[in-house]
Amino acid sequence: MIAMDNPHFIHTILEAIEDVFAQPAYLGLALAIALAAFVATLWFPNNALVSAVFATPNVALGAKLQLLASLLGGIATNFSALAAFSAMAIPLLFGADIAMIVYFLRKKRARLPRGEIAAGVGGAASGVVAAGCAACGSFLLSTILSFLGASGALALLPLQGEEIGLLSIALLLLSIFLIARKIVAPAVCEIPPRA
């Protein structure tokens, strides 16, 4: 088990971040992915409204774009403090994770073990599931649970489903640590086993 409060954990991540994000291309990639994920987090719960407005030919393009911009302000009005923190942290961590994976794959010309890919995908997927607002709870999770007949289960959790966002952050941090550990590992040659 990896203790996230371990100084080695933090040092490894900081060293890898310094290597990766010293290069503007990877910083730009991380920020672009983070921005896209953040925007999707705020627009997705309102996809029916956005679709209806953009499908209406009588609405001016400026009004359509103004709607999209106003939905971004929902982070301050529709989210609890914990949900807003998660909605901002998850895209940033996701963008950093993807940029670090791309850096590692390009620089090291290596393949990642399944566990590291699973941690990254798990963190991103749980972040998507946790997307939502205070009014609608965890949007996708409540939809999935209602499909399974357990939509009231979120109310039983101490934070009413906001635990999913915290789990997403933990999984993304784990994924970042695992890839950071690979990035900062010294290059060694593999010695073939003796026959």
Query: For the segment 119-136, what is each residue's pLDDT rounded down to a tens digit?
Result: 555 555 555 544 444 334
In a domain, 105, yes or no: yes
In a domain, 71, yes or no: no
Question: What is the number of domains present in the chain?
Answer: 1
Q: Whole-structure pTM over 0.75, yes or no?
A: no
**In this model, does residue 192 exceed pLDDT 60?**
yes
Angstrom distance (rounded) from CA 118 to CA 113: 9
Residue bearing the bigger pLDDT, 108 or 11: 11
In a domain, 126, yes or no: yes
Its domain, for residue 163, covers 15-42+79-184
Q: Specify the 3-state DSSP secondary structure of 60.
A: coil
Give the pLDDT band (50/70/90) at residue 34.
Answer: very high
In a domain, 61, yes or no: no
In a domain, 8, yes or no: no
Angstrom distance (rounded) from CA 41 to CA 35: 10
Residue pair 46/13 in contact by the 8 Å Cβ criterion = no
